[in-house]
A and B are shown apart, each in its own frame.
Chain A
């Protein structure tokens, strides 16, 4: 039953991303990519191989809807692959490594640090794939930083709202 619910949430988020968030531009170049959040919240409960395949499928379906040809598939797959490493980096010294690997088990500051790093990496891969190279590197970093900050703000709001419930 849980898997049906997960798929429904993923579908809704992908559609919302394609038709709502992609139309939302702040300061003319900031675009929140919130669908990435499912990689950390939902996909993380599934086996590794499925995580990668699902991440590719989510990114790919967004690419089909948006006409961006592989950009989101590549970036989402990358973040799904790299996230245990990022998570390990943020939970150095934590006592219980055997717990279910979910965001709930991280303290709030670590969770936020992890989310920002992950969003930054995802956006960086996304934008460098988009321009297919690293020319204008400073511009690229600037855009990545502000965009991930923007996406991150939304996620923090969601986390706070969730914490109050």
Chain B
């Protein structure tokens, strides 16, 4: 016993080190891998407040780029308006479409802090549980997919962008419908990777990759990026496609949080236990 106490006494620095390092690693592990990650609301709130005044300053500097992005988005929206579509009525059939239900609504939010040059990138936005943001909601920007909400405090939320390798979303080729996981390989913020596209598909450079209805976070049809190159995977049966991401994370400021009215219903169906 005496020797044991002596041993403890002699190695107290080592023990202190191991204890504190363990604490740090526990802290990291509780955050780092997305589906299991837990963010304390307090940390998110502190990060958000500290970042807000910084970002207000930066907003002035970036106004021009911002306006450009909004103008482009307006253009796309305008093209989808009823006034820019023509109804071709041939008088041969009747369409009764009063059964449409609103499924998604969007909440606009501003980025108060973000990183895009690290390996574990994060975004903090200025809307939180008071605005109805919940964990696992999708987030998109004017040019396409941004990420998924991973932690919420009263006034801020923490978003894991698709340029964080702990998030995998489902992406599909626009032309052919083949789908696969989009996962960031961790090199630079403009490129990502779409895997498991069958070898017999006729995918070409420049093809658009969209979100897939199978993904639980996003509505179908939001742009993820365009195909840049293709390569056979190690198993020789599937392509691994290099993607050029459509969202420029370096200039992103305004995002939309996607609320799915039928999300809870879908969840309960997915989590139903087998009899």
Contact = CB atoms under 8 A, between A and B. Distances in A.
B72 to A, nearest CB: 25
Contact of A67 (B16, B23, B124): B124
A119 to B, nearest CB: 18
A70 B186 CA distance: 20
Interface string A38-59: 0000000000110011001001
A146 interface: no
A28 B17 contact: no
Nearest to B250: A28
Interface centre among B17, B25, B29 (most CB of A within 10 A): B17
B79 interface: no
B24 A127 contact: no
A31 B119 CA distance: 13
Contacts of A77: 17, 20-21, 24
Contacts of B13: 48-49, 52, 81
A132 interface: yes
Nearest to A59: B24
B165 interface: yes
A52 B17 contact: yes
A69 to B, nearest CB: 4
Interface of B: 12-13, 16-17, 20-21, 23-33, 39, 43-44, 46-47, 50-51, 54, 113, 117-120, 122, 124, 158, 165, 185-188
Contacts of B39: 69
A67 B113 contact: yes
A145 to B, nearest CB: 16
B21 to A, nearest CB: 6
Contact of A74 (B12, B25, B46, B188): B25
A145 B51 CA distance: 29
Majority-rule SS of A interface residues: helix
Interface of A: 18-19, 25, 28-29, 31, 48-49, 52-53, 56, 59-60, 63-71, 73-74, 77-78, 81, 127, 129-132, 135-136, 139
Most buried by A among B26, B46, B47, B113: B47
22 contacts: A19-B54, A29-B117, A49-B16, A64-B43, A67-B43, A67-B124, A67-B158, A69-B27, A69-B30, A69-B39, A70-B26, A70-B28, A71-B28, A73-B20, A73-B24, A74-B24, A74-B28, A81-B17, A130-B119, A131-B120, A132-B28, A132-B120
A61 B185 CA distance: 30
A78 B120 CA distance: 20
B117 A31 contact: yes
Contacts of A139: 186-187
A25 B41 CA distance: 29
A73 B27 contact: yes
Nearest to B40: A69
Q: What are the 4 A-B residue pairs with the smallest beta carbon separation, nearest first? A: A70-B27, A74-B24, A67-B47, A70-B28
B132 to A, nearest CB: 22
Nearest to B30: A69
Nearest to A131: B119
B113 A127 contact: no
A59 B21 CA distance: 11
Contact of B24 (A19, A56, A132): A56
Contacts of A81: 13, 17, 21
Contacts of A73: 20, 23-24, 27
B186 A69 contact: no
Contacts of B32: 69, 132
A130 B118 contact: yes
Nearest to B42: A64
